[in-house]
Amino acid sequence: MAPLGTADIGIQSTDYGPAAWVPANSSNYTVSSRESAYPINYIIIHTMQGSYSGSISWFQNAAAGTSAHYLLRSSDGAVTQMVRDKDVAWHAGNWTYNTQSIGLEHEGYVNNASWYTDAMYRSSAALTRFLCDKYGIPKTRNNIIGHNQVPGATHTDPGPNWNWTYYMQLVTGTTTPPPTSWSTIVDNTTAGRFIASANWATSTYSAQRYGADYRYANPVAASDTAWYKVNIPATATYRVEVWYPAVAGYNTTTPYIVATSSGNQTVHMNQTANGGGWRSLGNFTLAAGDANKVGVSRWSGNTGYVIADAIRITRV
């Protein structure tokens, strides 16, 4: 795995040392001489609606008609630059904003919070902080904006799952160090902390399980959620991870529900792969108090058992 903020392809960028340099096709951006030709006043945050490697390939395609300056990978925060800072990338859908901004594309999909990893947040914030210092861009939400904030935008990225509060704290260096000791694990056997109906059976079939056993149920067109109850010490940002055994016949779109401070959010996980370890659903703002915080729903359109094994919540 590449170190945080680096990439494993191409040569190094001359604009931002930690980034790899993989040029976009020249048909997808405008050569310029910023900042003499145009001031750089904005950083614009995007979500790719696709993969890191796929977006790199697309920007190299002359038919794309689009580009961004920097791309960030979800798994480790690796960065690839594809358009020089001095040139105008075509990313904002607004020529004025294109000329005055640097575009950052983040791997993932707006409706799936699990793509917004802490590694990507931190790498992106370090890049934004560097660019703001380099070009005199104020580190405020008036100048660091989402694609959806560009006048005339038809896009919604980075979407409701992007944690602007946490991101801006990282950019400005004002994050309050989280309590290093606060993290909790709730297993399906944790007394008084796991609530499920009689429809959820118990199994020891897979050796990838967390603890002695795990729970399973058939998918149905109803929630019948198995809940994990957690006593959150303070309203803050928390990383939510899940553990499940992966078996070929299990469900590919198991719905996990996270009860955030602004309402429930659903993240789907493929439980046929990547089992036997902690898998992140993403970072969420959770309200203080003792309540059901993470659930596994049976409402999946795909076949195969949905699994409820264990969760881990850590303040970040």
For residue range 265-279, list pLDDT tens digits in order.
999 999 999 999 999
Environment class of 248 (CB within 10 Å of its CB; exposed 0-12, middle 13-18, buried 19+): exposed
Question: What is the pLDDT averaged over residues 282-303?
Answer: 94
Environment class of 180 (CB within 10 Å of its CB; exposed 0-12, middle 13-18, buried 19+): exposed
What pLDDT sits at residue 176? 57
175 — pLDDT class (breaks 50, 70, 90): low
The domains spanning 11-172 and 183-315 adopt the same CATH topology: no
Q: Is the pLDDT of residue 10 over 80?
A: no
What pLDDT sits at residue 109? 94
Q: Is the pLDDT of residue 45 over 50?
A: yes
Question: What is the pLDDT averaged over residues 217-226?
Answer: 95
| Domain boundaries, given as residue ranges, for the chain | 11-172, 183-315
Q: Is the pLDDT of residue 6 over 50?
A: no
In which residue are the tokens 């690796």 written?
Answer: 78
Model pTM score: 0.58
pLDDT per position as a tens digit, 125-173: 999 999 999 999 999 999 999 999 999 999 999 998 999 999 999 999 8
Q: Is the pLDDT of residue 60 over 60?
A: yes
How many Cβ atoms sit within 10 Å of the Cβ of residue 288? 12
Domain range 183-315, CATH class: mainly beta
Question: What is the pLDDT averaged over residues 53-75?
Answer: 97
CA–CA dist 35, 178 (Å, integer): 39
Nearest to 245 by CA among 215, 223, 224: 215
What pLDDT sits at residue 236? 85
Domain range 11-172, CATH class: alpha beta
> Higher confidence at residue 170 or residue 234?
170
CA–CA dist 119, 114 (Å, integer): 12
CA–CA dist 136, 40 (Å, integer): 8
What pLDDT sits at residue 7? 42
Token readout for 175 is 């994050």
Asked whether 20 and 6 are in contact (CB, 8 A), the reply is yes
Q: Is the pLDDT of residue 179 over 60?
A: no
Asked whether 283 and 120 are in contact (CB, 8 A), the reply is no
- Please list the residues that pair with 185 across neighbouring strands: 312
Q: Is the pLDDT of residue 315 over 80?
A: yes
The mean of the pLDDT values for the chain is 93
114 — pLDDT class (breaks 50, 70, 90): confident
Q: Is the pLDDT of residue 193 over 50?
A: yes
In which residue are the tokens 């055994």 written?
Answer: 245
Q: Which stretch, 29-33, 74-78, 230-234, has highest mean pLDDT?
A: 29-33
Question: What is the pLDDT averaged over residues 217-230?
Answer: 95
What pLDDT sits at residue 174? 81
What pLDDT sits at residue 235? 86
Q: Is the pLDDT of residue 177 over 80?
A: no
Token readout for 25 is 């096709």
Token readout for 161 is 């799952």
Q: Which strands make up the sheet holding 226-232, listed edge to edge?
A: 194-195, 226-232, 289-296, 254-260, 263-269
> Higher confidence at residue 94 or residue 4?
94
Query: What is the phi/psi pair of residue 71, to 5°?
Result: -125, 140
Q: Which residues, 6+ apart, have CB-to-CB distance to 63 below 8 Å?
A: none
CA–CA dist 314, 150 (Å, integer): 34
1 — pLDDT class (breaks 50, 70, 90): very low
